[in-house]
Amino acid sequence: MEELTLEQFEEASDLVKEVTLETKLVYSEYFSAQTGNKVYFKPENLQYTGAYKVRGAYYKISTLTEDEKAKGLITASAGNHAQGVAYAAKLAGVKAVVVMPTTTPLMKVNRTKGYGAEVVLAGDVFDEACDYAYKLAEEKGYTFVHPFNDLAVATGQGTISMEIIKELPTVDYILVPIGGGGLATGVSTLAKLLNPKIKVIGVEPAGANCMQESLRQGEVVTLPNINTIADGTAVKRPGELLFPYIQQNIDDIITIEDSELIVAFLDMVENHKMIVENSGLLTVAALKHMNVQKKKIVSILSGGNMDVITMSSIVQHGLIQRDRVFTVSVLLPDKPGELAKISALLAEEHGNIIKLEHNQFISINRNAAVELRITLEAYGTDHKNQIVSALTGAGYRPKLVKFKGTYSDS
């Protein structure tokens, strides 16, 4: 286990200032009130490339020889490291090839190309893309820059800790997302070097908890499959070089369900007006899992590169999860005036109708029953229950209709 020194982190901290924006901590009144702690966000989603990854990429390139640079660089990434390498390589005047999974959001692909890199799409997940990148590196002689299993890359990512502790020296907890472990290694190692009392908690998607499983078994393991909307942390196997540092410096790991990320997205948009991608939301969702009070907690928002289609889908599912949009089915006689009656009732209860579906073929006897499905906007669960109770009291026998295709159904 090679020692990562304070001197290396200090050198990296000075270097990355050349390519990073200053991301001052953001105090969250909302999450502080929700959790009983003092909660701060480290908004790396506001970096020029939309994520922290430029730190590790830039520092790694600075350590390469002229011969290694002349060969050109190749890496594999689900998106954020790709942009970090592309941007850093452009500034260094070095050719960069990036292999990305075929499932990578189009926005991340286009931005990577926009920074001057050649993009190759291969494999359905990061691990498959990485295997192909190694193959190309061997065939073409490129210098491989691993997105996480590299100590120089991890050192660059760890500069986040330097900034956090300089700004908030009395921080008690730092929450850090974990995919392959590069960010967590750098952040936790430097935090412990600066102040061993700081607790560093790793946060993984429940559907891609490769680091948690590796720690449980005491060795690096490969998950048979992964399933998460947090594409930036969708990794089957963590870095072997990094694992000893994680064992030594990470105090605990929290896992987060996809449904929790959807709620966290709405919370960040509504309360902080910030777009944070699903992997960056891991540490936001983890705040509700922290069994502590009156502590100073920093959640690292690792990135904000989310395409508009994904964003709109998450907003829709989030509203459904919070009972701010719901569908109810009622039966009513097929005769004039019935729609007006039910509309008046809903108006009294302040329910906002989004859609009506009138089905005359639910029953052979149309006078006995015609189905009306109403999709409504409500203020939340209590308001939804109030509307359903009013429909019941009016004799409509309402039944709630479950939305198909929500993340919580999958």
* 82, 103 Cβ separation under 8 angstroms: no
Nearest CA among 33, 103, 99, 25 for reference residue 294: 33
- Annotated catalytic residue 53: yes
- Annotated catalytic residue 17: no
At a CB cut-off of 8 Å and minimum separation 6, what does 217 contact?
Answer: none
CA-angle at 243, arms to 240 and 247, nearest 5°: 165
Q: Which residue has the tokens 């960069």?
A: 96
At a CB cut-off of 8 Å and minimum separation 6, what does 3 contact?
Answer: none
Q: For residue 303, give the DSSP letter.
A: B
At a CB cut-off of 8 Å and minimum separation 6, what does 42 contact?
Answer: 23, 25, 160, 163, 164, 298, 299, 300, 301
SS3 state of residue 208: helix
330: β partners = 372
User: Which among 53, 60, 192, 236 is annotated as catalytic?
Assistant: 53
Give the H/E segment covering residue 144: strand 143-144
* 148, 179 Cβ separation under 8 angstroms: yes
Q: For residue 51, give the DSSP letter.
A: B
Q: How far apart are CA 32 and CA 40, in angstroms?
A: 8
* Contacts by residues 68-71 (CB-CB < 8 Å, ≥ 24 positions apart): 68/143, 69/94, 69/143, 71/141, 71/142, 71/143
Nearest-Å Rg of the Cα atoms of the chain is 25
Token readout for 89 is 């390589």
CA-angle at 176, arms to 172 and 180, nearest 5°: 145
φ, ψ at 26 (rounded to 5°): -110, 115
User: Which among 199, 259, 302, 384 is annotated as catalytic?
Assistant: 302
- Which residues are tagged catalytic? 53, 302
